[in-house]
Amino acid sequence: MTGTTLDDYTDRYARRVRGMTASEIRALFAVASRPEVVSLAGGAPYIAALPLDAVGEMLGRLGSEHGVTTLQYGIGQGTLELRERICEVMALSGIDASCGASPEDVVVTVGGQQALDLVARLFLDPGDVVLAEGPTYVGALGVFQAAQAQVAHVPMDDEGLIPEALEVAIADLARAGRRVKFLYTIPTYQNPTGVTLSEERRERVLDICERAGLLVVEDDPYGQLGFEGEAPAPLRARRRDGVFYLSTFSKTFAPGLRVGWILAPHAVRDKLVIASEAQILCPSGYAQAAVATYLSTMPWRQQLKVYREVYRERRDAMLTALEDLMPAGTTWTTPAGGLFVWTNLPDGLDAKAMMPRAIAARVAYVPGTGFYADGTGTGNMRLNFSFPSPERIREGVRRLAGVMEQDLAMRQIFGAVTPAGRRRQGGADAPGPDLA
């Protein structure tokens, strides 16, 4: 028998399906969720910090007292009540009426992920190029891949995306005749690095994109989870034209409700609603009512402070453990907020190749390759500190350090091989674009 395949539908898929690959993070979930494994891999918020009794009572009332409306169909843009509450949330970060923020221009989405997908559907044709930080959010890479777009990574350092590298990337792509549609960026407490784009660079990045005629897609799931003072104002608080602001309640309330939003330029709003209706008809009325009621009746600003304190303690536990236990040659970022630390491994170690040994040692992380469209990043790991307790974080780092020490010892015996495509955040990589 020849030409057999495990998938009888291979020849029938649309072309855009052929490049789809599984997320490295999702592939880890089955193993990382085992109780004996210390998972530093996911990006889950610490839901136990919520007042769950009060939240449970609120959710029950939404069904028993308001089920006639909350369990019914709704409108594609999302309820006006929730859009008004979203504007109150954005105003905390400086995105308010003075810079054109209005409930009329908010579109409610099924989490931040659908927001990304809607923007991609509206603006990306096959072969278009998206500029994005290197590394960047793995879920965004999946969306752009599904849209048959290519990603050009722009290098970062400890102050975030490098403006000079952005200019070089735009110029190089223009000379090559490539069509760049937008810059996708997570400027505040970035996923996966935890790095924040500096105040001065924010204005420069916006100026560069404006001169080049590029849209800016600002993804801001973590901006209200800062540990060390206020974060710089979002890009959307500085410019209203050409900037799409995406966020979610997954990190500040509950990811299980799957509620996010887009604040879009007014001219684009209707097209976003039409695209969303084609996908989902309307966002969940129950989930929207849950978020709106939470924001209207519960001390959510105080809850943000609770999350910040919990995550600061866990961030500090991770940084202390890394300092105490990691082998020489390991470096890492020091995030001022968010959920993640980005780690550079000692020369000769390959985070992806090391994963089976780490799982055998009952610790999980995400190899850096998942955050690059071109498969580089073998010399990096993303570590999450939001979900495990401080004690579990230290134990996880201890187990991980042991695996790394064993790999270093083996390479000392048999010779170290630097992985192809190794990349360090803030390293000496050429600033030009990296097309997947």
Three-state SS string across 286-332, please?
Answer: HHHHHHHHHHHHCCHHHHHHHHHHHHHHHHHHHHHHHHHHCCCCCEE
Q: What is the pLDDT of residue 28?
A: 64
Q: What is the pLDDT of residue 250?
A: 97
Angle at 42 between CA 37 and CA 48, to 5 degrees: 85
Q: What is the pLDDT of residue 430?
A: 39
Which residue stretches of the chain have pLDDT < 70?
1-5, 18-33, 415-436
Quick one: tokens of 382? 């993303």
Q: What is the pLDDT of residue 25?
A: 60
- Residue carrying structure tokens 């072309």: 15
pLDDT tens sequence across 305-349: 999 999 999 999 999 999 999 999 999 999 999 999 999 999 999
Please state the pTM of the whole predicted model: 0.91
pLDDT tens sequence across 205-254: 999 999 999 999 999 999 999 998 889 999 999 999 999 999 999 999 99
Give dist(CA 62, CA 58) in Å, integer.
6
Q: What is the pLDDT of residue 325?
A: 98
Q: What is the pLDDT of residue 24?
A: 59
Q: What is the pLDDT of residue 418?
A: 52
Q: What is the pLDDT of residue 434?
A: 45
Q: How many CA atoms lie within 13 A of 53 on its CB side?
A: 0
Q: What is the DSSP letter of 47?
A: G
